[in-house]
């Protein structure tokens, strides 16, 4: 093959090939041309590759090509790598195939592979997360999840964001795979808490973003407890946003991940509540019975049972949910029984577990049940503690449920009662000053 033919074969000008031939070992082709040379060699037949291997085993000196041989621009190819990184880059580029491997020193190849393994293992062992850091973050999440039930949402959101931002910064660094998974679990639980807070403040779109992030983290760390809780929380967001059919699909999707009694009871109870809002008594009853059966299951998990708080589902919360379910169905007596039980459990339980939000909502549902029974006095008594709540604890769900109570008060049965008008005015005044409405412009929850 002539110089002109070889240049055409490579797709370069023949003067460049002549320059290579004249320069000998002093020539260093550009990477794109070197890649073309390597590809040409790799595609050559065994005879050409063998001749090339023999040539590069000779001393690397300038010499003319032997008569009858092809031009020798690739003489000195051994000089194309001067470090482990160069050699490994050639391997990555596919330049070392077949007989071309003869151009590599056996020792260089073995040592480069060994050095790469050692360096990678050293990096894998390094971490920016120590056991103490993870323990502190775990403690922060447990504290926030349990404090949230008795502290107003806005200041708690600040703390949630602070801790989650720390988790995010750690995830930007390098840690062991098990620690990365742990950080994803923390990010997921904190996003779930922020979704809950956003819901309490009435920002359902923001809550949806947070809960979808929580689900993504649950998938990344493979934590079924967080998966089950997240599906239930997402269903509650859709329920609050008046999208009950979407809520049913979400909560049903959580059952496959529920591995503890608490998780199972919670999901069936949420589902019963959604079905009751849709007016399906049969589906509601089915879910109530399933929740009762799930109580016999003795397994626990480290989210619902160990952390608890927002992630828990104790008897007080279960009775509060049951009360709301029976109100939807217009069943006064079971609604009164469930809500009274919830109020009693919250009022007489440990103060740190007393959820002002759930207890207040149970009182509103208790008032609704009294109105179904025709008792305006009973409704007024039930609402008295609620209407005295501090503004920063007036979560969005209270305004929504109290709006339902106002509709009942406006029915013909109470229209002529002066007590009804007074109660309606007090509810209207309460709803004018809620936690969300008290957030300064530009500081809305998200």
What string of H, E and C letters represents the secondary structure of 24-41? HHHCCCCHHHHHHHHHHH
Q: What's the gap between Cα 441 and its chain centre?
A: 28
DSSP state of 64: P
Question: What is the pLDDT at residue 66?
Answer: 42
> What does the pLDDT read at residue 63?
38
Q: Are 391 and 438 in contact (CB under 8 A)?
A: yes
Angle of helix 356-372 relative to helix 332-348, nearest 10 degrees, comes to 150
- Distances from the Cα of 369 to the Cαs of 162, 282, 395, in angstroms? 41, 21, 21
What pLDDT score was predicted for residue 439?
54
Q: What is the DSSP string of 164-194?
A: HHHHHHHHTS---HHHHHHHHHHHHHHHHHH
DSSP string computed for 214-231: HHHHHHHHT-HHHHHHHH
Q: Determine the 3-state secondary structure of 84 from DSSP.
A: helix
What is the pLDDT at residue 201?
A: 93
Task: Report the alpha-carbon distance of residue 400 to residue 382 in Å, rounded.
Answer: 17
Tell me the whole-structure pTM to 2 decimals.
0.74
Domains of the chain, each with CATH number or no CATH:
3-125 (no CATH), 131-431 (1.25.40.10)
- DSSP letter at 127 equals -
pLDDT at 445: 37
Contact 226, 192 (CB under 8 A): yes
Instruction: Report how far residue 127's alpha carbon sits from residue 178's, in angstroms, rounded to the nearest whole number.
Output: 11
The residues of the chain scoring below 70 in pLDDT are 1, 23-26, 31-32, 45-81, 94-104, 122-123, 125, 435-446
* Residue-level pLDDT at 384: 96
* pLDDT score for 45: 67
- Packing angle, helices 396-409 and 177-200, rounded to 10: 30
Alpha-carbon span 154 to 392, nearest angstrom: 8
CA within 13 Å, CB half, 131: 0
Q: List, for residues 80-118, the tens digit of each pLDDT value.
A: 667 778 777 777 776 555 555 556 677 777 877 887 887
pLDDT per residue over 128-171, tens digit each? 899 999 999 999 999 999 999 999 999 999 999 999 999 999 99
Which residue matches tokens 């959604």?
A: 274
Query: Are 230 and 213 spatial neighbours (Cβ–Cβ below 8 Å)?
Result: no
Q: Let me know: does 386 contact 363? Beta carbons within 8 Å.
A: yes
User: How far is residue 119 CA from its own chain's centroid?
Assistant: 32
pLDDT of amino acid 193: 98
**What CA–CA distance (Å, rounded) separates 365 from 320?**
8
């Amino acid at each position: 093959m002539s110089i002109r033919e070889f240049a055409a074969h490579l797709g370069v000008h023949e003067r460049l090939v002549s320059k290579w031939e004249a320069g000998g070992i002093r020539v260093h082709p550009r990477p794109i041309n070197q890649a073309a040379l390597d590809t040409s060699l790799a595609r050559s037949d065994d005879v050409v590759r063998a001749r090339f291997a023999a040539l590069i085993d000779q001393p690397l000196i300038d010499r003319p090509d032997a008569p009858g041989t092809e031009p020798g621009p690739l003489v000195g190819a051994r000089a194309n790598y001067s470090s482990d990184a160069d050699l490994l880059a050639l391997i990555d580029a596919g330049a070392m195939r077949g007989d071309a491997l003869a151009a590599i020193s056996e020792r260089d190849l073995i040592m480069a592979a060994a050095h790469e393994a050692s360096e990678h293992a050293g990096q894998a062992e390094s971490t920016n997360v120590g056991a103490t850091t993870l323990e502190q973050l775990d403690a922060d999440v447990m504290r926030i999840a349990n404090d949230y039930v008795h502290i107003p949402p806005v200041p708690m959101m600040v703390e949630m964001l602070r801790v989650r931002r720390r988790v995010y910064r750690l995830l930007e660094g390098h840690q062991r795979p098990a620690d990365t998974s742990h950080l994803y679990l923390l990010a997921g639980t904190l996003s779930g808490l922020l979704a809950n807070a956003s819901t309490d403040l009435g920002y359902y779109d923001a809550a949806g973003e947070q809960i979808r992030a929580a689900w993504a983290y649950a998938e990344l760390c493979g934590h079924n407890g967080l998966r089950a809780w997240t599906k239930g929380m997402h269903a509650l967001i859709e329920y609050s946003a008046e999208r009950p059919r979407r809520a049913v699909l979400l909560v049903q999707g959580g059952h496959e991940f529920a591995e503890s009694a608490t998780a199972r009871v919670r999901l069936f109870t949420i589902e019963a509540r959604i079905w009751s809002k849709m007016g399906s008594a049969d589906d509601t009853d089915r879910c109530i019975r399933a929740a009762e059966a799930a109580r016999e299951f003795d397994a626990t998990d480290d989210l619902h049972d160990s952390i608890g708080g927002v992630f828990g589902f104790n008897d007080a919360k279960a009775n509060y949910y049951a009360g709301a379910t029976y109100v939807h169905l217009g069943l006064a007596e079971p609604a009164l029984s469930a809500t009274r039980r919830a109020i009693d459990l919250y009022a007489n339980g440990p103060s740190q577990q007393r959820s002002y939000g759930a207890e207040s909502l149970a009182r509103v549902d208790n008032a609704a049940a009294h109105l179904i029974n025709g008792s305006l006095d009973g409704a007024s008594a039930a609402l008295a503690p609620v209407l005295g709540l501090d503004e920063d604890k007036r979560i969005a769900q209270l305004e929504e449920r109290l709006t339902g109570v106002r509709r009942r008060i406006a029915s013909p049965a109470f229209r002529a009662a002066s007590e009804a008008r007074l109660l309606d005015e007090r509810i209207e005044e309460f709803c004018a000053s809620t936690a969300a409405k008290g957030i300064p412009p530009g500081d809305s929850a998200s």
